Amino acid sequence: MKLVVGVDSSTQSCKVEIREQEKGLLISTGVSPHEPTFPPKSEQDPNQWWQAFVLAFQKATANNSVDKNLIEAIAVTAQCHGMVTLDDELNIVRPAKLWNDTQSATQSNDLVEKYGRDYWINQVGSLIGPSFTLTKILWLKENEPENFKKVKKICLPHDFLTARLSDRLVTDRAGATCTGYYSIKDSRWTYEILDTIDSTKNWSDALPEILGPETIASKISEKVAKELGIRSSVVVGPGTGDQMASCMGLGTREGDFVFSIGTSAVIFTVSNKPVHDLTGIVNGMADSSGKYMPVMVSLNGTKITDWAAKIMDCSLEELGELALSAELDENSAVMAAFFDGERTPNLPYATGIIAGLNSMTDRKKFARCIFDGVLIPLVKNYNFLKNLVKKSDGRLIFTGGASRSKAYQQILADLLQKDIYIVDVEESSARGACVQATAIARGTTVSQIIEQWQPRVVKIVSPRKTRDLTDYFLKYDACSSWRGMDRNN
């Protein structure tokens, strides 16, 4: 039985999955936590990512059913957008700024104003915001000039871990579209944008080499093979971003839409052609199989319901039961859950707002407005995105930590007024990394492995009743558009 290893280095933890290659059956897992972050400043030490990976790998391979000699390939996925700064020896210059660090909001606005919205949408594929790596590079130059001078290499989180495994700094096309300095139109790094930040740096040497989705980065380094106790013939994949890996892991086909809710709340689909959204609220990314993957991201996911359960002194399950028992009517309150700012729409200084409280607002209605505060933006994003793609008649797949909650499942179906699908995938990003590792181990395409590994549908959740929610959504729009309590930048 031939094995592969998939690594998902997320904001919260590193997860390692070991799967067999034929059908993708899960053999073993291991998890190790990361230090928590607290936006708007959100940073982590990349060396700790590596330590967490080694520990998670050790946990996964401690299982007696795992024969390390059968491992043939490994691939890494990690949080998108982050900025990892390295010297010539690939040593860390400063802590990595993560995807949800919004300190570069000013730099983001300056770059959009300098080049114009059309440039970013047409050339890069996305109207950049503070999550994009480019804005963090400009922030570094303006705020930490001494550290900026030390930087010789810049990469994404998954690139860093792949480099530690392979001694080679590479990335993939999907990850590159998260940076802001990759042209989805011309399929190349746009060094000229970086030259306007600093014309003295050798940017062509500073950035990773872009590899195809099934291209082997390298064999694993001798040092790491010895540290992990695996064969030196194990090959390493190019890696990719976590949402792109999730797309693979869930078996997403063109026409499917994925609702992924964890720390963030994300909706994406797969398209054979690039999506150019002239409003700028859709990120036109590449996927990890050679296609395209339009994405819409909200910063505020399950942490909102975690917060509500804490202040209501109840369990998450009890909070969900309260929300499910609430009826939507003219007395329902609404919540804009912009606790740490927002990305879609681009509101980095926004704060959370609850509106419409009245004497009829009991614990049930309060709990319901909390869940809806997380879910309504995704439903609105879905309704917007489905009109931009050619095919939108596939499954609506629900994944992420929230997908295990009966309340999240049912309320999402109720708000969409459509069936949603729960598939037999616990950790979609780690599973997607295994898909990539299997493709390079077997010398086939990612698309072929996605079809061979199609996950089983374990549950279909239907809306409880048919109803017109237009007025309720308009009430949400009125609440979320109020800027009276935004933070000062």
Q: How far apart are CA 13 and CA 25, in angstroms?
A: 22
Report which of 11, 294, 261 is spatially closest to residue 157, judged by C-alpha positions: 11
Task: Determine the average pLDDT of the residues in 201-206.
Answer: 96
How many Å apart are CA 66 and CA 58, to the nearest integer? 11
Fold of 251-424+456-489: Nucleotidyltransferase; domain 5 (3.30.420)
Considering 242, 256, 277, 340, which one is annotated as catalytic? 242
Residue range 207-232: mean pLDDT, rounded: 97
Confidence of residue 253 (pLDDT cuts 50, 70, 90): very high
Separation of CA 73 from chain center: 23
* Mean pLDDT, rounded, for 346-364: 95
Least Cα distance to 300 among 215, 376, 190, 393 occurs for 376
76 in Cβ contact with 239 (< 8 Å)? yes
Distance CA 248, CA 236 (A): 17
Residue type, 227: E
Confidence (pLDDT) at 64: 83
Query: Mean of the pLDDT values across residues 312-330?
Result: 97
Q: What is the pLDDT of residue 346?
A: 83
According to CATH, where is 3.30.420.40 located in the chain? 3-242, 251-424+456-489
Tell me how many helices (H) and strands (E) the chain has: 18, 24
DSSP-H helix ranges across 43-172: 46-61, 105-115, 117-119, 133-143, 145-150, 157-166
The one-letter amino acid code at 370 reads I
**pLDDT value, residue 481:** 96
Q: What is the pLDDT of residue 293?
A: 96
Q: What is the pLDDT of residue 218?
A: 97
Asked whether residue 488 carries a pLDDT value surpassing 90, the answer given is no
Token pair for residue 193? Answer: 């944008």
Decide the pairing of beta strands 218-219 and 235-236: antiparallel
pLDDT digits (tens, 9 = 90+) for 117-133: 999 999 999 999 999 99
In this prediction, residue 196 carries a pLDDT of: 96
CB atoms within 10 A of CB 122: 16
At residue 8, does pLDDT exceed 80?
yes
What are the pLDDT digits (tens) for 408-417? 999 999 999 9
Distance CA 441, CA 433 (A): 12
**Would you say 29 and 8 are in contact if contact means Cβ atoms under 8 Å apart?**
no
pLDDT of residue 263: 79
Ramachandran angles phi, psi of 48, nearest 5° = -70, -30
CB 262 within 8 A of CB 401: yes
Q: List pLDDT tens digits, range 423-474.
A: 999 999 999 999 999 999 999 999 999 999 999 999 999 999 999 999 999 9
271: DSSP letter: B
Q: Is the CB of residue 127 less than 8 Å from the CB of residue 172?
A: no
Confidence of residue 344 (pLDDT cuts 50, 70, 90): confident
Residue 107: its pLDDT value, please?
97
**Rounded distance, CA 79 to CA 452, Å?**
26
Cα–Cα distance for residue pair 73/64, rounded to 1 Å: 20
Q: What average pLDDT does the segment 299-316 reach?
A: 96
Q: Which of 272, 276, 242, 246 is nearest to 258 (CA)?
A: 246
Say if strands 240-241 and 71-78 run parallel, antiparallel, or are unpaired: parallel
Model pLDDT, residue 40 = 87
State the Cα–Cα distance between residues 268 and 386, nearest whole angstrom.
10
Average pLDDT, the chain: 96
Q: Which pTM does this prediction carry?
A: 0.91
Q: What is the CATH number of domain 3-242?
A: 3.30.420.40
Highest mean pLDDT among 27-41, 134-148, 267-281, 287-301: 134-148
Long-range contacts of 31-35 (CB under 8 A, 24+ apart): 31/56, 31/59, 32/56, 32/59, 34/9, 34/10
> Residue 242 catalytic?
yes
pLDDT over 80 at 489, yes or no: no
| Residue-wise pLDDT tens digits, 52-88 | 999 999 999 998 889 999 999 999 999 999 999 999 9
Residue 43: closest CA among 130, 108, 103: 103
